[in-house]
Structure 1
């Protein structure tokens, strides 16, 4: 094997596999004395929050308290949780939704109340929807396409669309409705503005938004089975207590949910101490090993719908415009080895190289169709053959371009993103060992998206697939269109979208993604998706290296009896439609019997 990291590099990457007594003791002071009712049944988690800097304006989401955590569904329920395997909805606050031509009708469950005792009804819903229409960026899907809003009755709201497409309503069904009392002035004005045609960027919106972004209410009024206990909120932990007024408030099995403060490393220590029942934060390979000694430990696996790979800048490095070069660079890499070093157990190998996660590729393509796909397992002879066929030569152990210049690449990771840093360094080592001069560096983590979009890179470690969008077309939007505006200011990856496929002929990628998204029949969508998958495999615009496998550490037998396995929702994406949190809401997660 060219890049033999298997023992030396892997041991270095996982580091010290246990936590010393002194290290574990660092957290004892903040975790031992939890306060609250000692007889209360508790479910405990962890998230890196900041009480001082995070706003209580939960409609902003970005920067709002716990709104970037999986625990958000517990105090602000969405309308529904999507089942990624069955492509159906598990409704929570909503009774249901239906289309009437180009109008979407959303209907709430009856009898819902807020934690302050007021009724949760269509007034809350229409005002929340209107505020989101004003906040939604025009490039998004769902709220940006809403033309007008109308309250039909106490439980129903109509949203008018122009030219809707299948599943455009997903963000609306998942939207977290907020209290009409808390957002009274903003919500009422937002409805008027939306129906008058005001949208993001207009002068009226700018005036409204200047007050909205500064708005920070004193409390969060909750719709879910739990609410904040102000007396049990500190820099060390937040306690959510049962909200009997809320949805499922009397059915959930735990009296309290405690969220400890902790980053990735601190969360791992809390798991090892038995202080945390479930964590969605990413553990290192070393922590993954240390978990094995924790009594009651088990992994809760969440399916991955994206992965980590290589994105090329086709303008900065014209040599990668030759598909033979892209494929050769892929054949140099050992995805299994890179994934193991970067993620420990939290990765899966790429099998089909279809631009989709394998779990999705196998849903839209038959096994016979997938058998024709080229795989890119490490094959140095194949890499050599492809480069020579592309006119490259090798002298003195170094590869030269067809014009005689030495081939070279700079690969950027992201500082603080451990799996990206490790992936970049391993690509550097592999390509160097093969004779291609490569240097890895990490860009600041505050805005890698700006760097990618501006095309300020030669080769970038970047995602492929799409964890945000359950519909298959979302993966191809990510792979081909994201960071590929091809404008002077935002060239991105600079990959041309009018392509010639060996098997499909001339293909307009942008048009094909649009067809996969908007086609009226499932047959048309599926054919477009198959074409996109074949084109991705043939042209390899990005190199998928490994797939995320989200392993959440969990501990059974201390507070939680057991975690659900192989449920209808166990294929859900971890951060959007978490099946553990859904089981908690539904009362399917049980406490240990006292």
Structure 2
């Protein structure tokens, strides 16, 4: 049955009410900010010390100082990590070229990658930063690297060439395999002395992740928690100024650009998404990468000196299907119908406020990338999935579904139903799940939304313990286009008994491309000998994604970072070489601070 106009009106009214409810919380934000300010200690700039202020939800007690593990280490999941533990280089996603930090450069010598450090670098404990640090850090990462990764897993052997250079031997390297290596954060040989030496011997002896020798090494390594973090960047931790409320990083004159940075200190306030928004409203934070709600975004407009800094997104939020749990989803008409029921703009605005982007091309790539791979004329041929209730009805009826008394039934007569899981504490995922629930229920498909614990949604997704999951699509971690399809097709799709994930068959029949092996295409793009070859494989995968819609993209991340000018920071420049990079991979504001392009307010 085709929905009546009142069905469409009901869908729109439900979405409108949800949006107004989300925005309506704005008044609470300003009131709460004053209370938070009372215990924040002010900005403390009257002492003549220049400070840059940020915010992150750290925990001094539970987080380790073993920074080589990164996850769970103090501030290592924040953008501030570059300030005290610099990466070797960052890749300019816009210009497709390298900008070196700790590294002086790199070159290929046949199948060998030669990586060289800058001279004269020192650690915050006064020791020299040299090739011994580099080769041991690389060895530890090779030993820890899962076989499915790119870069370190393909390293065959390691050799220190001189005090500043290391050779990494590969077998049959491919373009951009060096990305993770050049970006790697080198750690102190003093801190990791025994672990680094052992790892180097193990790697050169052929040991890799999962081998008995690695498991023995790792059992001790994951328990390792040094007393302090030895720093390579322009800042270091001041233990006298570390409290549960804030961490102060002070100038590390021996570190990389320690004498060139323009701020004496960097203060990182403790705060989750909500608390960080209150600190911005109170003017106590210069820049934040934590996600503000739609209500907080509205409240920011009244803050003196406030501005948005927009960072591009290369991934988004959508729906991942479990084809084993719900075999009816194997019919592409059903998947497309479910997409046509949803209003992506409305869902994105409720979930993220203005910090979302609409999906235009449904190519499995962020639109910014799809427009690099395809011409405008070619993209006109891609099917779009803007809300169209009539189209959704037509597709389901073609698939043999029927609608009686406002409820949809499968071809076998069973009532259609889905459970959609979000993630507790991930506000945008929670709101996306509840809006999908509303939309599909209003359309006549019984749907229930629930949230899984935030401590391990990845395990739940991989195990296939879901019917429909709010999940990412695209990929912000790799500038190479193929990374998006590794995410879309291969992530949570191992197909094993313990990790069935999506249970999506990677050998598909495309209306335009014929029989396609998607896993093979991902590997073809990954190991392509040229950018042209890579793009051709990516083009095929994007076309297949659009034709078969194996998961539904709903909205794209648009990162709107709140910033305040004229208090501690004079101004923020939008024109940085990393401006097109992912906000959490190579943050342009933090890099500008390191490179001396961010200056204190003279007023």
Where on the TM-score scale, by shorter chain, does this alignment land: which range?
Answer: over 0.9
Aligned partner of 2:268 in structure 1 is: 259
| 1:304-343 alignment, distance < 5 Å | 304-343=313-352
Q: Distance in 2 between matches of 1:504 and 1:298?
A: 46
Q: What is the aligned partner in structure 1 of residue 290 from structure 2?
A: 281
2:5 is matched with which residue? none
Match of 1:478 in 2: 487
Query: In structure 2, what is the equivalent of residue 235 of structure 1?
Result: 244
Matched residues in 2 for 1:7 and 1:429: separation? 12
Q: SS of 2:40's equivalent?
A: helix
1:501 to 510, 524, 546: 510
Note closer, same or farther for the CA distance 1:33–1:310 as it changes in structure 2 (3 Å cut). closer
Runs of 4+ displaced beyond 3 Å: 19-22, 33-37
Structure 1, residues 101-150: CA drift from partner, whole Å, max 9, x if none?
Answer: 21111111111111122211101100111111122222222112211100
Question: CA deviation digits over 1:303-333, x for unaligned, max 9?
Answer: 1111010111111111111111111111110
Q: Deviations over 1:228-274 (max 9, x none)?
A: 11111111111111111111111111111110111111111111111
Structure 2 match to 1:541: 550
Distance 2:44 2:241 in 1: 7
Alpha-carbon contact 1:348-1:548 (below 8 Å) kept = yes
Q: Which of 456, 459, 470 is equivalent to 1:447? A: 456
Q: 2:299 aligns with which of 276, 280, 290?
A: 290
Deviates more, 1:298-307 or 1:194-203: 194-203
SS in 1 for 2:319: strand
**Deviation for aligned residue 1:29:** 4.1
Q: For residue 127 of structure 1, give the secondary structure of its aligned residue in structure 2.
A: helix
Task: Indicate the residue corresponding to 1:592 in structure 2.
Answer: 601
Is 2:561 aligned against 1:552? Answer: yes
**Is the 1:124–1:179 Cα contact (8 Å) retained in structure 2?**
yes
Match of 1:225 among 217, 222, 234: 234
Indicate the residue corresponding to 1:524 in structure 2: 533
Contact 1:54–1:63 (CA under 8 A) maintained in structure 2: yes
CA distance in 1, matches of 2:497, 2:208: 27
> Structure 1 residue 442: deviation in Å?
1.1
Matched residues in 1 for 2:29 and 2:321: separation?
A: 43
Which SS does the other structure have where 1:31 is aligned?
A: coil
- Matched with 2:416 is 407
- Name the counterpart of 2:354: 345
TM-score, reference length from structure 2: 0.96
Cα distance in 2, alignment partners of residues 23 and 157 from structure 1: 53
Cα distance in 2 between the residues matched to 1:125 and 1:446: 33
Q: CA shift at 1:26, angstroms?
A: 2.9
Within-5 A mapping of 1:564-583? 564-583=573-592
**Residue in 1 aligned with 2:278?**
269
Map 1:374-385; keep pairs closer than 5 Å: 374-385=383-394
Alignment check: 8 A CA contact 1:30 1:236 kept: no
Q: CA deviation at 1:536?
A: 0.3
Equivalent position of 1:424 in the other structure: 433
Shift of 1:37: 8.1
- DSSP 3-state at the match of 2:47: coil
The answer to whether 1:458 aligns with 2:467 is: yes
CA contact (8 A) 1:35 1:232 kept: no
Which range moved further: 164-173 or 149-158? 164-173
Residue 551 of structure 1 aligns to a residue in which SS? strand
Are 2:294 and 2:353, in contact at CA under 8 Å, matched by a contact in 1?
A: yes
Do the aligned partners of 2:29 and 2:295 also contact (CA within 8 Å) in 1? no
CA deviations on 1:359-398 (whole Å, 9 max, x unpaired) are: 0000111111111100000111111111111111111111
- Of residues 50-59 and 25-34 in structure 1, the stretch that sits farther from structure 2 once superposed is 25-34
CA apart distance, 1:152: 0.7
Contact 1:253 1:591 in 2 (8 A): yes
1:485-505 per-residue CA deviation (whole Å, 9 max, x = no partner) reads: 122222111111111111111
Distance change >3 Å, CA 21–CA 146, structure 1 → 2: closer
Equivalent position of 1:55 in the other structure: 64
Structure 1 residues 356 and 528 mapped into 2: Cα distance closer, same or farther (>3 Å)?
same
The alpha carbon displacement at 1:521 in A equals 2.0
Name the counterpart of 1:83: 92
For residues 198 and 330 of structure 2, what CA distance do their matches in structure 1 show?
51
For 2:222 and 2:206, the matched residues in 1 are separated by 21
Q: Distance in 2 between matches of 1:448 and 1:15?
A: 30
1:511 counterpart SS class: helix
Contact 1:227–1:241 at 8 Å: present in 2 too? yes
When the two structures are superposed, what TM-score results if normalisation uses the length of structure 1?
Answer: 0.98
Q: Aligned partners of 1:174, 1:290: CA distance in 2, in Å?
A: 37
Q: Is the 8 A contact 2:29 2:278 kept in 1?
A: no
